[in-house]
Amino acid sequence: MKRIKENLVLRILIVVILQLIVYSVIVCTIGYQGITRTLMDQYADGAFKTANSALEMINVDRIDALEESDGKTVEYNRTLMNMDKLCNSQEVTFIYMIQPDTSDYNHIKFLFSAMNSESNYNRFPFGYVRETTNDEYKENYKALYEKEIDQALVVRNEGYIETDPHITAMVAVRDSKGTTKAILCVQRQLDAVVEARHEFLNRVFFLLVFVAFLVIAVQWIYLDSTLLKPVKDITDEAIRFANENVKNSEKLGDVISNRDEIGHLAHSIDRMESQIHDYVEDLTLVTAKNQRIETELKLASMIQDSMLPGEYPAFPDRPEFDIYGSMDAAREVGGDFYDYFLIDEDHLYMVIADVSDKGVPAALFMMESKAILANQAMMGHSPADILENANNAICDNKMDMFVTAWVGILEISTGKVIAANAGHEYPVFKKTGGKFALIRDSHGLVLGGMPDMKYTNYEFKMDYGSKLFLYTDGLPEATDENWNMFGTKRLLEALNIAPDASTVTTIENIWRAVADFVGNEEQFDDLTMLCMKYLHK
């Protein structure tokens, strides 16, 4: 159990297995019902055809004569023999003709009772009288005799049945004047239907088991090679370099073959290690320790800036939305980050997050967390699942760092946003023609705080002109010389001065408002903002 909790791939596979089980149940249920309907229709159609064939063997104007024959005339026996042959050739159990008591239809009298030679049941003799089986039969007898219907079908496959599950097809026997003289019935057992259904379920079961094992094997190999091992290698290397500050002889880019965000992160760490290490070596010969540290941090800041989306407009060929972000670190490198990219043509991924520490370790942890979140998004997970999987991936970090994060996915064609919050600040939202206001969403635990945490998705709708503003706690916690905080009230007031401005202008306005408030007072936290305006009509 402990291994499952600590292994991301195992947990993902368990989810896949549960999904396959649900899918299998649905497929079996739908298939079972479908094949049952099809077979029952074929059985019913065959029974009625047999009934009509039997009806052609009877001279309908001689019913009274057959009734008076006491079952001993040549005509009667010839007709019975022909019906016996029809039973055998059509593989039906019984073909019988009855006359119900039309006063109350509670009893029936048998005129003919033909039977399949392979049947184990007893033939009813001529003139045998018995009670009507149940109300369903009684209603059908009455409807046939009173010419409300020409034929009827009774299916008996539940409850107490004297002759095993079967169907009975009934047709009215009417003379040339149209008078109903009797009812001809064909009974077929449902053994073949039951056998066909069992065979179907067996085939579907073994096919689904095979597919399940195949999917699990492929998923295991894929996830282990593309997610778990690369993330572990990157984490170990990031921690090693943060502790040793020595370039590794074997590059992560050579070890990790991913071409996704994890692969980009591996190459970025390689470049960072190489640049920082080489530059530190050169500076060691000519500069003092403080100058060397300052240069390293500036280089790290440049590398960190290159990891964040910086071009504007970010998506010049997508007029449906406008998005822009900025990050001002309190030190040379910071722990805040934001990110956005198109998962596919109709879904925009957005995230803003804050690492608990500052400096180079936080910057490295920031890049790792950013890549893990992005990779989860590219795998098609919901925001809640992205946060859950990322939390489990970074939970066991030796630096005991944690991350607050807000993740949202915009469906561009509809404006629907699905989001989840892991201990981050409330997002700010402006409806079309309205003012900015906080979305007081439900907060889950911070990422890295405790494994196996669950997060909750929630939704809101964006219309043409509506805006979403995201930020880290460095904004409301910015302080002036009297230790007054900027706060969310001043933030909303600053946003609502020009609520319909562009994303760039909105962020610049907030930055100036914070700068005017704090004056020359030194700030101790990063200031990160992300703004998205929906322009789809």
CATH code of the domain covering residue 418: 3.60.40.10
- Tally of CA atoms within 13 A in the half-sphere of 9 that contains its CB: 17
pLDDT value, residue 261: 66
Backbone angles phi, psi at 247, to 5 degrees: -65, 135
Burial of 117 (0-12, 13-18, 19+ CB in 10 A): exposed
Domain boundary among 189, 209, 234: 189
The residues pairing with 534 across neighbouring beta strands, listed in sequence order, are: 321
Written as six digits, the tokens of 164 are 């095993």
Domain boundary among 160, 189, 218: 189
Q: Is 21 inside a domain boundary?
A: no
Written as six digits, the tokens of 168 are 């009975």
Q: 495 Cβ partners below 8 Å, 6+ apart? A: 428, 430, 436, 469, 506, 509, 510
Q: Is 463 inside a domain boundary?
A: yes
What distance in Å separates the CA atoms of residue 192 and residue 163, rounded to the nearest whole number?
15
Q: Is 334 inside a domain boundary?
A: yes
Q: Is 295 inside a domain boundary?
A: no
DSSP letter string, 309-378? ---SSS-TT-TTEEEEEEEE-SSSS-SEEEEEEEEETTEEEEEEEEESS-HHHHHHHHHHHHHHHHHHHH
Count H helices, E strands: the chain? 14, 16
DSSP letter string, 450-488? STT-----EEEE--TT-EEEEE-TTTTT-B-TT--B-HH
Q: Tell me: do 346 and 475 sit in the same domain.
A: yes
Sheet of strand 428-430: strand arrangement: 321-328, 527-534, 467-471, 428-430, 436-438
The residues pairing with 352 across neighbouring beta strands, listed in sequence order, are: 338, 406
CB 440 within 8 A of CB 362: no
| Distances 70 to 73, 77, 94, 96, 108 between C-alpha atoms, Å | 8, 11, 20, 16, 16
Angle at 522 between CA 519 and CA 525, to 5 degrees: 115
Q: Tell me: do 172 and 318 sit in the same domain.
A: no
- Nearest of 85, 88, 86 to residue 53 by alpha carbon: 86
Backbone angles phi, psi at 479, to 5 degrees: -120, 150
CB 169 within 8 A of CB 47: yes
Q: Is 23 inside a domain boundary?
A: no
First to last CA, the chain: 51
| Distances 256 to 269, 336, 474 between C-alpha atoms, Å | 12, 26, 35
Checking DSSP bridges between strand 347-355 and strand 403-411, what pairing results, if any?
Answer: antiparallel
Q: Is 403 inside a domain boundary?
A: yes
Q: Tell me: do 320 and 172 sit in the same domain.
A: no
Domain count along the chain = 2
CB 399 within 8 A of CB 455: no
What distance in Å separates the CA atoms of residue 440 and residue 489, rounded to the nearest whole number?
14
Q: 35 Cβ partners below 8 Å, 6+ apart? A: 196, 197, 200
Q: Is 16 inside a domain boundary?
A: no
Q: Is 100 inside a domain boundary?
A: yes
Backbone angles phi, psi at 59, to 5 degrees: -80, 105
Residue-wise burial string across 271-280, b where 16 or more C-beta atoms lie within 10 A, e elsewhere? ebbebbbeeb
Domain boundary among 163, 189, 215: 189
pLDDT tens series, the chain, 537 aa: 555 555 555 666 677 677 777 766 776 677 656 666 777 777 788 888 988 888 888 888 888 888 888 888 888 888 889 988 998 888 888 899 999 998 999 999 999 889 888 877 788 899 899 999 888 999 999 999 989 998 999 988 765 566 678 889 999 999 888 899 999 999 988 876 666 667 766 777 777 777 777 777 776 677 666 666 676 677 776 677 766 667 666 776 666 766 666 766 667 777 776 666 676 666 666 555 545 555 555 555 556 566 788 788 989 999 999 999 998 876 656 678 999 999 999 999 999 999 887 777 777 888 889 999 999 999 999 999 999 999 999 987 777 789 999 999 999 999 999 999 999 999 999 999 999 999 999 999 999 989 999 999 999 999 999 999 999 998 999 998 889 999 999 999 999 999 999 999 999 999 999 999 998 887 677 889 999 999 987
Written as six digits, the tokens of 90 are 């059509």
pLDDT value, residue 400: 79
Write the single-letter amino acid at 427: P
| Distances 349 to 36, 186, 411, 412 between C-alpha atoms, Å | 46, 65, 9, 10
Written as six digits, the tokens of 43 are 């059985």
Is the Cα dihedral 160, 163, 169, 172 positive or negative?
Answer: negative
CATH code of the domain covering residue 119: 3.30.450.20
Burial of 29 (0-12, 13-18, 19+ CB in 10 A): exposed
Q: Which residue range(s) make up the domain with 125?
A: 57-189
CB 497 within 8 A of CB 508: no
The three-state secondary structure class of 258 is coil
What distance in Å separates the CA atoms of residue 414 and residue 346, rounded to the nearest whole number?
9
